[in-house]
Structure 1
Amino acid sequence: MKRTLLITAITLVGIIALVLVLLPQILSWIGFHPAYDRVDYDLEGQRALIIATNHDTLGDTGEATGVYGSELTIAYYEFLDAGMTVDIASIEGGEIPFEPVSLRWPLTTHADKRYLNDEDAQTKTQNSLKIDNVNFLDYDIIWMAGGWGAAYDLGYSEVLGEKISAANAEGILLGSVCHGALGFLKATDVDGSALVEGRTMTAVTDKQVKELGIEITPQHPETELRRLGANFVSGTAFRDFFATYVAVDGNIVTGQNQNSSGETAQTLLRMLAEEN
């Protein structure tokens, strides 16, 4: 009997250990940060600007939040590895906070792990440029990262809206992922209408927000984009946390959530390469 119990216990421990080891891969299989097609581009001399939140607290809960790691890191390294110069900015400048769980096992991506060992990248996020002091017209790609923190500042910034408007008027490639799409809310098209009006776009869905129980945030991307007349599209899954979708409309490329970061960044790189 004791021998049987010992064997059973060892077997259960082994199974649990195996599941823990394979958990990141299992999550990928069901849709979390799925593999995406990559092409290596040579865009030396081109420039990318990544914009993220400064907001670090989830409402009045006291819980830490910020940018979702992979929504910044994946794009950062896709652009950097293509030979581009990559700057990082935020609404107020200075430190960009990260959603804590996004940089922890089992949710970390290869890009997150690379970031955690990259002093130069960390210096950029700890001392981000203030968007007021950045000329958006100096860049070939502008990327707005999401995370719950973005719901508190990107969509409310008049400065961001003005600068995105100016960049759009020059045909600069504009990208966002998840809550980053809120950065388009204050922007206008060349005719003065809302930039998102009539545009086919995606972002984190109301369904995902509800499923994660984070309805406390002041702006929900799907709701806001639809309110301004965007043609909102998205993928879905048994939980939208595992869904992904990328929408392209002219010079604007948007990704649904963290799972869409790689494909969205690669789409922007392809479009830039085709311009050159």
Structure 2
Amino acid sequence: MTVPYYAFLDAGMEVDVASPAGGMVAVDPMSLKPVIRTPEDDRFLADEEFRAQVSDSKAIGDLDMADYDIVFLAGGWGAAFDFGFSQSLGRKMTEANAAGVVLGGVCHGPLGLLNATAADGSPLVEGRRISAVTDKQVRELGIDATPHHPERELRSVGALFESETRFRDPLANHWVVDGNLVTGQNQNAGPMVAREMMQLIVERSTTGS
């Protein structure tokens, strides 16, 4: 979450932090271990304002999605426990899509699109190119006990799932843009997904659409 947050912030955007229920967003301490810790993680640890947002996030159901240009669904295995089960998140993603908001996410984050619908009532991701963490990666990372696996769940509602794969690929990377949806296979796709999302906003501003 830290890399896209700072990408948006450093581009001059105002950034809110929200979650399905609001309040504390749990941070897996393993994600801050030196081997995988990023400079943005160090910046987060020293950033009282960002840490306060994470400690007291807004409830997604309370937000007016027309106030936003971008919604980024942060990944991490914790999202497997609430994103795909949250009706309020699905409803707000439906509203955001209808308002033309650019929607994106990486890893487990795209599970937040599961309950969203298009204008005709069909699943929002049906027939759309989507990437997220794969079933194979979930097994290799040892987190297959989670209740939702992104590849399986997104395919089940008609997504055209895309990914990169190798013999062993826990960190294999891929990202895809399909209209206003920008999704990435793993957390290391965060910078690319954030960049593509902001590029869509720039293109809209220059074309007036």
Normalised by the size of structure 1, how large is the TM-score? 0.73
Structure exhibiting the larger radius of gyration computed from Cα positions: 1
Q: Does 1:257 align with 2:177?
A: no
Distance in 1 (CA, whole Å) between partners of 2:167 and 2:11 is 35
Q: In 2, are the aligned partners of 1:205 and 1:240 still within 8 Å (CA)? A: no
Q: Does 1:198 align with 2:127?
A: yes
Q: Does 1:232 align with 2:188?
A: no
Q: Which residue of 2 aligns with 1:186?
A: 115
Distance in 2 (CA, whole Å) between partners of 1:137 and 1:240 is 38
Structure 1 segment 26-37 matched on structure 2, within 5 A:
none
Residue 97 of structure 1: CA displacement? 0.7
Which residue among 196, 203, 207 is the counterpart of 1:274? 203
Question: Alpha-carbon deviations, 1:52-107, whole Å to 9, x = none?
Answer: xxxxxxxxxxxxxxxxxxxx101100000000000000111111111211111011
Question: Tell me, which stretches of 5 or more residues in structure 2 are unaligned?
Answer: none
Distance in 2 (CA, whole Å) between partners of 1:236 and 1:112 is 27
Distance in 1 (CA, whole Å) between partners of 2:148 and 2:48 is 33
Structure 1 segment 112-151 matched on structure 2, within 5 A:
112-151=41-80
Distance in 2 (CA, whole Å) between partners of 1:249 and 1:214 is 28
Q: Which residue of 1 aligns with 2:8?
A: 79
Residue 271 of structure 1: CA displacement? 1.1
Question: Alpha-carbon deviations, 1:9-63, whole Å to 9, x = none?
Answer: xxxxxxxxxxxxxxxxxxxxxxxxxxxxxxxxxxxxxxxxxxxxxxxxxxxxxxx
Question: Alpha-carbon deviations, 1:182-219, whole Å to 9, x = none?
Answer: 00000000000010100000000001001112111000
Q: Which residue of 1 aligns with 2:148?
A: 219
Residue 110 of structure 1: CA displacement? 1.1
Question: Alpha-carbon deviations, 1:142-190, whole Å to 9, x = none?
Answer: 0001111111100011111111011111211000111001000000000
Which residue among 246, 258, 261 is the counterpart of 2:175? 246
SS at match of 2:170: helix
The residue identity in structure 2 corresponding to 1:260 is A
Q: Percent identity?
A: 52
* RMSD (Å) for aligned C-alpha atoms: 0.9
Question: Tell me, which stretches of 5 or more residues in structure 1 are unaligned?
Answer: 1-71
Q: Which residue of 1 aligns with 2:136?
A: 207
Normalised by the size of structure 2, how large is the TM-score? 0.96
Q: In 1, are the aligned partners of 2:21 and 2:60 still within 8 Å (CA)? A: yes
Q: In 1, are the aligned partners of 2:114 and 2:154 still within 8 Å (CA)? A: yes
Distance in 1 (CA, whole Å) between partners of 2:101 and 2:46 is 31
Q: In 2, are the aligned partners of 1:244 and 1:256 still within 8 Å (CA)? A: yes
SS at match of 1:241: coil
Q: In 1, are the aligned partners of 2:17 and 2:53 still within 8 Å (CA)? A: yes
Distance in 1 (CA, whole Å) between partners of 2:22 and 2:194 is 23
SS at match of 1:176: strand
Distance in 2 (CA, whole Å) between partners of 1:122 and 1:105 is 19
Q: Does 1:160 align with 2:98?
A: no
Distance in 2 (CA, whole Å) between partners of 1:168 and 1:156 is 19
Q: In 2, are the aligned partners of 1:102 and 1:108 still within 8 Å (CA)? A: yes
Q: In 2, are the aligned partners of 1:198 and 1:230 still within 8 Å (CA)? A: yes
Distance in 2 (CA, whole Å) between partners of 1:273 and 1:109 is 27
Distance in 2 (CA, whole Å) between partners of 1:218 and 1:242 is 21
Residue 140 of structure 1: CA displacement? 0.1
Distance in 2 (CA, whole Å) between partners of 1:133 and 1:202 is 28
Runs of at least 4 residues of structure 1 off by over 3 A? none
